[in-house]
Chain A
Amino acid sequence: MADWTAQVFQNEYLPDGATDIHAIVTVTSQDTGQAGESGGAAEAVIIDCSGSMGAPRSKIVAARQAAAAAVDEIADGTWFAVIAGVGLAQPVYPPSGMAQADARTRAAASAAVAQLTPQGGTAIGQWLLTAYEAFRAAPATQRHAILLTDGKNEGETAEQLRSAVETVTGEFQCDCRGVGADWDVAELRGIATALLGSVDLIADPADMAADFQAMMQAAMGRGVADAKLKVWAPQGAQLLFVRQVAPTIDDLTDRRVNVTPLITEYPTGAWGDESRDYHVAVRVPAKAVGAEQLVARVQVEVGGQVVTQGLVKALWSDQSDLTTRINPAVAHYTGQAELAQAIQEGLAAKAEGDKDTATFKLGRAAQLAAETGNEEATQRLRKVVDIEDADTGTVRLKRDVSKLDEMALDTSSTKTTRVRPS
């Protein structure tokens, strides 16, 4: 049985008249076991085989190796399929539905992926629907896919993609990877976020196999098929937002399902042995000094059972030494969320040729990255801007920036660092 804990970080003391409470809830799961232990697991590997994958040829070669490396990691008994993304998706292995992994089927799948050839266009929505068909043929409840693309979704309309993503949302999770510099970060991030997966750039095709291997290993190590975050707030309260803030920023607010007028629920997908941080913000009517109130119960539910709970409280006080403290975790993640937003908005402005906004936003990003100790973000920012003074957020846009460096900055903008030990 998995072991769950929830820890709350907040300053529960509010000054007279204050209404907003912020808390970071760290949820940790341990001893989750292996994927598929309850209800079986299924994996789909979706490889972009559009014509552009052949130019340069190293991309399709790397993709074949990466698909084989992922298939190698699929545990015996897991259902799986490999799908080629062309104008319309084609099953690569097995010919239809899914096969159950063993030495023979893994070898057959590897032989089949070695034959992958670049042809046709990019229609990611079609690929996802084909994967969904395959998943539905397998008797497994824990479903995960890996999707690789090298281009923009030009083989179908944006509406077709949106509709396909909507159809498969909640049906399987999908980690998305873009290779090269010709894919659209925002587009792929939208797909990955909806399907509770990660998004990343593979700048060098040579790194693809190791990345696919790691993704599949991680998927096989997720022993809890599906967990939900449930948030209760008292009558009269307004839940301002629920945001995952570590390991990556993901605003869950729009994904809420109202369970009761006081309880909302958010899908969080499968869990391995890991820790995720959530930022919960609640607004309640102010109470008299001395009063206290429970303002949120943050629970994790697995299979209909609440497995852990964190309590967020408010206590109105006239002691300013208590009420003026800002909780370090809340401050840190507020900064990290703003950092992600500043990077994304700055890059979008730069792409539109709005240099003033780009300079301002990326300057703010450099300042926040320094303040929150996010070294990785600082390093990536340096490839796009010259940081003259991180304290004041003074930067200059670099003249010649590699597209890949910009995309790396964009895709990694949602990755957060944990709170620095004080």
Chain B
Amino acid sequence: MTCPSCGEPVGVDFAFCENCGASLPDRATSGSPAVPEVARSGEQRSLVNVRTEPQKAPRPPCKTCGGLIGDDGWCTVCGARASNGREHVAEQPTPTVAAVSDRGLVHVRNEDAFAVAARDGWTALVVCDGVTTATDSDAAAYAAAQAARNVLAAAERPTGSPDDRQRHWCLQLKAAALAADEAAEGTADAGDGNPPACTFVAAVADGDLIAAAAVGDSRAYWLPDDGPAEQLTVDDSWATEQVRAGVPRDEAEADAKAHAITRWLGIDSPSVDAATSTTTATGPGWLLACSDGLWNYCSDASALRDLVNEQPLEPLARAEALVEWANQQGGHDNITVTLARIGAV
């Protein structure tokens, strides 16, 4: 087995590449104990450490100048930051679930991260977008997404009335956000004046029940083949707060501060009580969780559904095509697309 990100050999039961830290295709997610139990904070940190501790294996050379990468993660010759191995990452744990994350065309690094789980009968999608203006946010995003996915993957599939089940998933999503926050905090260095931070969105589809939660401006959408498309999450952003306060949307979204997020995960986060929402699928469709690298170019739910449906049908090809489309629009940010097909294809 080799890591799809960096090509280094990996063990068959590894969840993460020991070389670059990429999440490995979760072959065992369905019905296997490979996904850890809900991690206590110490264990979450150890997940983080998988990629931050000095590696025994030689690091790949600097992608800019070919120089040696130091233990601090920067080239010892030209000063370029070492690749985090996530320029382009793709996963397809089951035939109906796919995730792709890409650096885009402008940013130096991909600071987005995703983690997905496909269990028997239900699916969880998690996307975290590292805040570029804070230090080492890619590590925070990665740790947060993994921690949230681990909470959701370990959840019991609920029984009872649809209301009970939706309530169950909303609680699990809030717990996932808390675990993600704790993991993001674990990536901060003591005394860092600008600690790592990231957004959070998670969506679960359990049969026809759909639930989503978010902190920041990453989004989840329910895009049914027929019937109205829905944006499931509300951005924690300056623009959204202005609209809520009565400012016309066009005006608020045109402001330079429009995209400033008002909530995030990390050691300096103001609050991590994730807002949840639920819906019920009345027919087949696509559950989408994505970073703003995609929705910035297509924000409206109906337009996004049309865009998604123009792409190849197979989930991984479809996610790749959406990333490629965002790059064609300019690729100004990191782009992460996670898709789950709900119901018949």
Cβ of B191 and Cβ of A294 under 8 Å apart?
no
Checking A262, A291, A292, A322 against B77 with a beta-carbon cut-off of 8 angstroms, the contacting residue is A262
Report if A290-B108 is in contact (Cβ < 8 Å); known contacts: A234-B79, A235-B77, A235-B78. yes
**Any A CB within 8 A of the CB of B40:** no
Q: A234 vs B69: C-alpha distance in the bound complex, in angstroms?
A: 12
Q: Which chain A residues (167-191) contact chain B, with CB distance < 8 Å?
A: none
Chain B neighbourhood of A253, CB < 8 A: none
**Any B CB within 8 A of the CB of A297:** yes
Report if A297-B80 is in contact (Cβ < 8 Å); known contacts: A7-B191, A235-B65, A291-B108. no
Chain B neighbourhood of A293, CB < 8 A: 78-80
For residue B40, give the distance in angstroms from its CB to the closest CB of chain A: 29
Cβ of B74 and Cβ of A294 under 8 Å apart?
yes
Chain A neighbourhood of B80, CB < 8 A: 293-294
For residue A231, give the distance in angstroms from its CB to the closest CB of chain B: 13
Chain A neighbourhood of B79, CB < 8 A: 233-235, 237, 284, 293-295
**Any A CB within 8 A of the CB of B159:** no
Checking B72, B75, B77 against A309 with a beta-carbon cut-off of 8 angstroms, the contacting residue is B72
* A265-286 vs B, Cβ < 8 Å mask (1 yes, 0 no): 0000000000000000000100
Q: A166 vs B106: C-alpha distance in the bound complex, in angstroms?
A: 54
Cβ of B65 and Cβ of A311 under 8 Å apart?
no
Chain A neighbourhood of B133, CB < 8 A: 322
Chain A neighbourhood of B77, CB < 8 A: 234-235, 262
Query: Which residue in chain B gives the minimum CB-CB distance to A321?
Result: B256
For residue B74, give the distance in angstroms from its CB to the closest CB of chain A: 4
Cβ of B72 and Cβ of A234 under 8 Å apart?
no
Q: A161 vs B235: C-alpha distance in the bound complex, in angstroms?
A: 72
For residue A5, give the distance in angstroms from its CB to the closest CB of chain B: 8
**Any A CB within 8 A of the CB of B76:** yes
Q: Which chain B residues (284-322) contact chain A, with CB distance < 8 Å?
A: none
Q: A235 vs B78: C-alpha distance in the bound complex, in angstroms?
A: 5
Chain A neighbourhood of B76, CB < 8 A: 232, 262
Cβ of B72 and Cβ of A311 under 8 Å apart?
yes
Q: Which of A294, A297, A309, A311 has the most CB of B within 10 A?
A: A294
Query: Which residue in chain B gives the minimum CB-CB distance to A312?
Result: B79
Q: A295 vs B81: C-alpha distance in the bound complex, in angstroms?
A: 11
* A293-337 vs B, Cβ < 8 Å mask (1 yes, 0 no): 111010000000000010100000000001000000000000000
**Any A CB within 8 A of the CB of B107:** yes
For residue B330, give the distance in angstroms from its CB to the closest CB of chain A: 13
* B55-81 vs A, Cβ < 8 Å mask (1 yes, 0 no): 000000000010000101011111111
Cβ of A292 and Cβ of B81 under 8 Å apart?
yes
For residue B69, give the distance in angstroms from its CB to the closest CB of chain A: 11
Q: A236 vs B106: C-alpha distance in the bound complex, in angstroms?
A: 24
Query: Which residue in chain A gives the minimum CB-CB distance to B67?
Result: A235
Chain A neighbourhood of B108, CB < 8 A: 290-292
Query: Which residue in chain B gives the minimum CB-CB distance to A261?
Result: B77
Q: A2 vs B157: C-alpha distance in the bound complex, in angstroms?
A: 53
Q: A220 vs B106: C-alpha distance in the bound complex, in angstroms?
A: 56
Chain B neighbourhood of A297, CB < 8 A: 70, 72, 74
Chain B neighbourhood of A291, CB < 8 A: 108
For residue B192, give the distance in angstroms from its CB to the closest CB of chain A: 9
* A233-245 vs B, Cβ < 8 Å mask (1 yes, 0 no): 1111100000000
Q: A7 vs B191: C-alpha distance in the bound complex, in angstroms?
A: 8
* B100-122 vs A, Cβ < 8 Å mask (1 yes, 0 no): 00000011100000000000000
Cβ of B78 and Cβ of A290 under 8 Å apart?
no
Chain A neighbourhood of B65, CB < 8 A: 235
Cβ of B107 and Cβ of A234 under 8 Å apart?
no
Chain B neighbourhood of A236, CB < 8 A: 78
Q: A309 vs B73: C-alpha distance in the bound complex, in angstroms?
A: 13
For residue A223, give the distance in angstroms from its CB to the closest CB of chain B: 24
Q: A234 vs B81: C-alpha distance in the bound complex, in angstroms?
A: 12
Chain B neighbourhood of A232, CB < 8 A: 76
Chain A neighbourhood of B70, CB < 8 A: 297
Q: Which chain A residues (212-252) contact chain B, with CB distance < 8 Å?
A: 232-237
Checking A7, A235, A237, A311 against B74 with a beta-carbon cut-off of 8 angstroms, the contacting residue is A311
Chain B neighbourhood of A284, CB < 8 A: 79
Cβ of A290 and Cβ of B107 under 8 Å apart?
yes
Chain A neighbourhood of B78, CB < 8 A: 234-236, 293
Report if A294-B107 is in contact (Cβ < 8 Å); known contacts: A7-B191, A235-B65, A309-B72. no
Chain B neighbourhood of A237, CB < 8 A: 79
Chain A neighbourhood of B106, CB < 8 A: 290
Q: A275 vs B75: C-alpha distance in the bound complex, in angstroms?
A: 29
Q: A342 vs B107: C-alpha distance in the bound complex, in angstroms?
A: 45
Query: Which residue in chain A gives the minimum CB-CB distance to B193?
Result: A9
Q: A293 vs B109: C-alpha distance in the bound complex, in angstroms?
A: 12
Q: A146 vs B258: C-alpha distance in the bound complex, in angstroms?
A: 63
Query: Which residue in chain A gives the minimum CB-CB distance to B74?
Result: A294
For residue B255, give the distance in angstroms from its CB to the closest CB of chain A: 14
* B143-178 vs A, Cβ < 8 Å mask (1 yes, 0 no): 000000000000000000000000000000000000
Chain B neighbourhood of A262, CB < 8 A: 76-77
Q: Which of A235, A236, A295 has the most CB of B within 10 A?
A: A235
Residues of chain B at the chain A interface (Cβ within 8 Å): 65, 70, 72, 74-81, 106-108, 133, 191
Closest 3 CB pairs of A and B: A234-B79, A294-B79, A294-B74
A selection of 8 A-B contacts at a CB cut-off of 8 Å is A5-B191, A232-B76, A233-B79, A234-B79, A236-B78, A284-B79, A290-B106, A294-B79
- Apart from A234-B77, A322-B133, what 18 extra A-B contacts exist at CB < 8 Å? A232-B76, A233-B79, A234-B79, A235-B77, A237-B79, A262-B76, A284-B79, A290-B106, A290-B107, A290-B108, A291-B108, A292-B108, A293-B80, A294-B75, A295-B79, A297-B70, A309-B72, A311-B74
